[in-house]
Amino acid sequence: MRPPARVNSIGRAFATGVVLAACAGLLSACAETTFAVHTAKTITDGGAGPGQKGSYKVGNPYQISGTWYYPKEDYEYREEGAASWYGPGFHNKLTANGEIYDQNDMTAAHRTLPLPSMVRVTNLENGRSLVLRINDRGPFAKNRIIDISKRGAELLGFANQGTARVRVEIMPEESLALKRAAIGGGQPEDMPVITPAPRAPVQAATLASPNQPPPQMAPVSIVHTSMTSLDVAPSNGGTGMFVQAGAFSSVDNVRRLESQLKELAPVIVTPIDVDGRQLLRVRLGPLASDVDAARVLAAVQAQGLPGAKVVRD
């Protein structure tokens, strides 16, 4: 019988420390790494085996080693802190929302975000950025803010050293799509699919300061600003095929993103309402063909936006 979640969580915290200590002396075997971002798991697959069908879960407040944690839906979450990783000791075991953990998947554990949620994690020590799906609880040691799968840690470049300083940002539109799919019992058209990035070496950049985002690889962060200072198109603006870069709440960051992407294709910014939250959606297009869409999509993903996708209106 599977032990209670609290006991299992405490055990994972101690086991993670053992794994990190063992990995500290390993040497890197590769000079370059290719981003191979997996497609998000099918939450509602009726043919899945026992434990493979994850559910949507927020959960009640809980206590670990004298510290209380308060899970909640927070689609404005952004935090910087220490990341760790977990792997062999938990491979093929159940996660907190009932999935089977695979150390080679692009997943992570978080103490309070909904399960599942989609987050962008940036290693502030080397500039690498990766999109991960939260499907487990943790970590509970040394004030770390996220516990990443073994493969995720390898791609972010800190598997050998064990920990890294990172920025974690929730992706609200993709996270809400995951929620709708889990609760609704089906996969809507806007179910986020993480398309593999172009097969090229991972680019790293040295940060001038821990507070400054890396050049080129910098994700668009979520910061609250009034939307009235940005000219936007009507929400029903146009029909055709587009590459959707994402939806954001910061006018300043949308303006920065627009400047970054305008050489690829026309950029269209439209206001949208997502579960009562007003966001700014950034799209490129309209595009004339599937070939153009594939080309622009690859270029947008190469700008540090692996969650970009092709949409049709």
Residues 213-242 have pLDDT tens digits of: 443 433 333 333 333 344 454 454 446 899
Angle at 150 between CA 130 and CA 84, to 5 degrees: 80
**Does residue 24 sit in the same domain as residue 170?**
yes
227: its two tokens: 């939307």
Tens digits of residue pLDDT in 182-210: 887 544 444 444 433 343 444 444 444 44
> Domain with 164 in it: what CATH number?
2.40.40.10
Q: Which DSSP state fits 32?
A: -
Tell whether 158 and 285 lie within a shared domain.
Answer: no
Output the pTM of the full model: 0.49
Domain with residue 247: its CATH number is: 3.30.70.1070
Do 9 and 104 lie in one domain? The reply is yes
Q: In this predicted structure, what is the pLDDT of residue 36?
A: 26
> CA 116, CA 97: separation in Å to the nearest integer?
8
Residue 145 is part of which domain span? 5-184
CA distances for 59 relative to 98, 115, 182, angstroms: 13, 9, 15
How confident is the prediction for the chain on average, in pLDDT? Answer: 72
